[in-house]
Structure 1
Amino acid sequence: MKTFITIAIQWLITITVFAAPLSLEQAKALALQNNTEYLTAKASFEAAKWGKNASLGSMLPSLTLGGSFIYMDPATTVQTGGAPTTLNHDFRAVSLNLSQPLYMGGKLWNAYKINGIAEKMARLGLRNQELSLYSKVEELYLNALQMQAIMKISELDLQSAIRNLEIAQLKYDNGLISNADLLRLQSNKASKDVSVLQARTAMQLSLRSLMNYLDLDEVPTLVEIDQSDNSLVQTSLQNFDNAQTDALIDRAVNYATDHNIGIAINEQSVQIAKRSYSIAKSSFLPTVMLTGSRTYSENGIDRYEFEADNQLILSASIPLLPQYKNYAASRQAYYSMRQSELGSVSVKRGIRLGVESSVLALISNVKQVNAATLALSYSEESYRQLQERFRNNMLSAGDMLDAELMVMSARTALTNSMYSMLKSKTALLQALGTDNPRMLTNLINGDTEE
């Protein structure tokens, strides 16, 4: 078993070849360059932008150049001046044709507006993908930092176990403790070795997850994140009462109503449904088209001698029968619009509930950090006193192990609560529709300005 653990530790040390330092902002920039989902959303935005331009062309006049060649056998004979005249076998004609839709019942205009809305939705979708990407990178980055902190705690715990085992060995040599107590401390030290190995493995896995997401070839050296904004949030929220919490929830919900990307996309979907209903109703309306042409054609006698012929046509049409299909299509579009409007209400409620939950989670985690900090201070102070008593043979080995466990649990609880607070802050920022941490600080302080 010891041989296996030694080999495993050596293997982990071998693969841990750290590359240059990688900050959180650098990780986000790398993700924007390499993430396929973000690049797909970017391509969708470009496609929607050009789709809007293409729909604009449907409302512009079209000009075409046409030509024809006709060969007739037998040749046509006509009466001219009382005598028959045989025309050429071949005729040529060239024409310019111009068409301009004047009124199509609003179909073209609404189609153009729908494509414009689709462009806005694609832009919002791109921004939403960017925020989701930032949130995912930050989650993976924080997970890796958290596992590094847990590993350091495990190493500190192992060092403490080694020191206590050395003291116990001296006591055993002097006949002050039993062999059972010594074996218990030796077993505790061996379990700490395994804990360090497990913590290192967890750290490696978290780093690998970050590497895979960023498409990195080497294990990065993570940089501790700037805690200035987090300290402001923690200091401000740790003493919040119920009234202050409710006020913050109201401010956050109001901000999210105006800035949450999910709400904005849903509102644009409602606009598309309304435009689609207008297009469906336009099937009952008349259409007006203006067309004109100028044709140059041979007279049949003189080759390549062309005569001009001009035409200008204003045409209008109105659908009469069957109208049932148009009516059914309009009712379908109407209820699709109603479905979209009612769904929008549910989406807004869900997002607002999510914002409220995120605010409560952040405040809860902040208070948990404060409680864990006090618990750690108490645990460390108690451990120092108990360790001194253990050195003086005034404390049993079992009580000393309980004290070690208490300190390690307190350190782990503080680390986990700290990173839970950071993750809940990231989740709240995404729910608000921003990646600016100062905006959260402003909301906490009652300032809703951008």
Structure 2
Amino acid sequence: MKQKHILLLACTMAATSFGLHAQDSPLLNDYRTLVETYSPDLRAAQHAAGAGQEARQSAHADFLPKLSGGANFNYTGNPLRLDVNLPGTDAAYTFEGRDTKYGASLNLSQPLYTGGALRAGYDKARAEEAMARQEVQRVTNNLRHEADVRYWTSVARLELAGVAGDYRRAVEQLVDVVRHRVEQEYTDRNDLLMAEVRLNDANYQVQRARNEAEVARLSLNALAGYPADRHIVTDTLVAALSTVQPMPLGVDAALARRPEMSQAELNVSARQSAARVANARYLPQLSIGVDGSYSSPGYDFHSDLDPNYAIYAKLSVPIFEWGKRRHTRNMGRYQVDMAREQRTLVADGLRLEVETAWCNYTQAVEQVRLTESSLRKAAESETLAMDKYREGSISIVEAINAQLYHQEARQNHIQAKLNACLAKSALDRACGE
């Protein structure tokens, strides 16, 4: 019994020393990679980023000249006819159009001024592309945090199942001791009945702990897209974070690294660009172009195909729109103000998240240290109680209570380690890391 508790304390100290590198576990990093590779949410965000890039390139193409082609064919049943009598003569001349018209044409156009619509449209597309890429980062951060939660929860449930097994073995040893004392008539049979009741309870706890560990394992597999019959290799002990690491960044610097904050900033820019696009419809529009054709009938009444061309400049100036220009401009301003207020709301929420995550992390690490101290004392108390019970100096109730206190201390320590790991992961997520 003493050797077992010595081994337990050694394992506890080893886990404590390993705790400083809890988030650097190679197996945890491997699991994160599995989750990121499988995640449909992340792939969807990446597809959205690809679509945003294509939209930006499409908007950039609006700055360049446009070349278009076309063809036409037209048959008229009764073409135009003109009879002309020349003055002073009896002669009459007849001019008759052709019933068949056909040809091909090319058009080259270049916008010169569109009221800033092209530039604003490109800026809007560029901001939306950046928002889509920040969405990829946001999904990745959330996905890694979820992976950490499921990973350490699975490890904790597995460790708790081991604690339940150790407790059952300790109760079995106590039952053997009590049975021997009853057989030697050193104690009453009621002690044996109490010990056997505790053994039944220990068996129940083992089954419950194993079931919870299996459910956690299935949840671990589901996030990585693994079938239920496959087993992902994990750590065997939850790492104990017993030292508070300083926050690598200040709150303002952490906010600047959060993709949610960048998205809020980019949303303001996108709203401003959208307002400029809407307002450009009410500004002058100037474009130039060249039309080239090869058609029949040709010029000078030729019946054969003839080439021709036209160079044009087009200016459009809106004059009166019944107040639509003013209302459109006001609507755009309101939308920009909404985006700015949303940015402030996001900043306040993220600031609270960072501060709360830091508070939870420091408290969780302190709880790890407290439970470590309680665990050492509970292990020593159980050893002393078992020795005293063998000597007959304490009752069976005190021995059972000592085992219960030790088991509870181990469970509390594992839960504190789990809370610390999850708090550290939440802090990393809040700081944009």
- Shorter-chain TM range is 0.7 to 0.9
Which residue matches 1:74? Answer: 78
Partner residue in 2 for 1:55: 59
Contact 1:67 1:94 in 2 (8 A): yes
Change (3 A) 1:225 1:201: closer
Q: 2:293 corresponds to which residue?
A: 295
Moved more, 99-108 or 403-412: 99-108
Is 1:209 paired with 2:219? Answer: yes
CA contact (8 A) 2:67 2:107 kept: yes
Secondary structure of the 2:319 match is coil
> What is the identity, as a one-letter code, of the residue corresponding to 2:199?
K
Q: Which has the larger radius of gyration?
A: 2
Name the structure 1 match of 2:123.
113
Q: Which residue of 1 aligns with 2:346?
A: 347
What is the aligned partner in structure 1 of residue 280 from structure 2? 282
Contact 1:146 1:415 in 2 (8 A): yes
Residue 32 of structure 1 and its aligned partner are, at CA, apart by: 2.2
1:164 aligns with 2:163: no
Residues 403/226 of structure 1: CA separation in 2 closer, same or farther (3 Å cut): closer
Checking the alignment, whether the CA contact within 8 Å between 2:49 and 2:129 is kept in structure 1 is yes
For residue 223 of structure 1, what is the aligned residue in structure 2? 234
Q: 1:169 to 1:51 in 2, by over 3 A?
A: same
Q: Tell me the residue number matched to 1:235.
A: 243
Alpha carbons of structure 1 residues 96 and 226: separation in structure 2 relative to 1, 3 Å? farther
Q: Quick one: which of 106, 112, 124 aligns to 1:96?
A: 106
Instruction: Give how far 1:86 is off.
Output: 4.1
Q: Residue 428 of structure 1 corresponds to which residue in structure 2?
A: 427
1:9-37, Cα deviation, whole Å (9 max, x unpaired): xxxxxxxxxxxxx9323322222232221
The letter of the residue matching 1:304 is: D
Deviates more, 1:156-165 or 1:276-285: 276-285
Closer/same/farther in 2, CA of residues 226 and 126 from structure 1, 3 Å limit: farther
1:250 shift after superposition:
9.4
CA distance in 2 between counterparts of 1:66 and 1:226 reads 73
Q: 3-state DSSP class of the match of 2:361?
A: helix
Task: Indicate how the Cα distance of structure 1 residues 323 and 279 shifts in structure 2: closer, same or farther if over 3 A, else same.
Answer: farther
> Relative to structure 1, is the Cα distance of residues 87 and 338 closer, same or farther in structure 2, using a 3 angstrom cutoff?
closer
Q: 1:252 to 1:408 in 2, by over 3 A?
A: farther
Say whether the 8 Å CA contact 2:244–2:365 is kept in structure 1.
Answer: no
Q: TM-score, normalised by structure 2?
A: 0.86
Q: How many angstroms apart in 2 are the aligned matches of 1:174 and 1:390?
A: 14
**1:28 aligned onto 2:32:** yes
Cα contact 1:252–1:355 (8 A) shared by 2: no
Shifted more, 366-375 versus 328-337: the winner is: 328-337
Q: In structure 2, how many angstroms separate the alpha carbons of the residues matched to 1:46 and 1:279?
A: 23
Q: Deviations over 1:365-410 (max 9, x none)?
A: 1111011101111111121111111111111000001101110111
Maintained 8 Å contact 2:156/2:237: no
Q: 1:288 to 1:189 in 2, by over 3 A?
A: same
Q: Cα RMSD over matched residues?
A: 2.3
Corresponding residue for 1:371? 370
Read off the aligned partner of 1:121 and give its amino acid letter.
M
Q: What's the offset of the Cα at 1:333?
A: 1.3
The offset of 1:137, in angstroms, is 1.4
TM-score of the pair, normalised by structure 1: 0.83
Q: Distance in 2 between matches of 1:121 and 1:111?
A: 15
Asked if 1:147 is matched to 2:157, the reply is: yes
Unaligned 5+ residue runs, structure 2? Answer: 1-25, 87-91
Contact 2:155 2:236 in 1 (8 A): no
What secondary structure, in the 3-state scheme, does the structure 2 residue paired with 1:144 have? helix
Measured in 2, the distance between the counterparts of 1:411 and 1:163 equals 19
Q: CA shift at 1:429, angstroms?
A: 0.9
Aligned-pair CA distance for 1:79 = 7.4
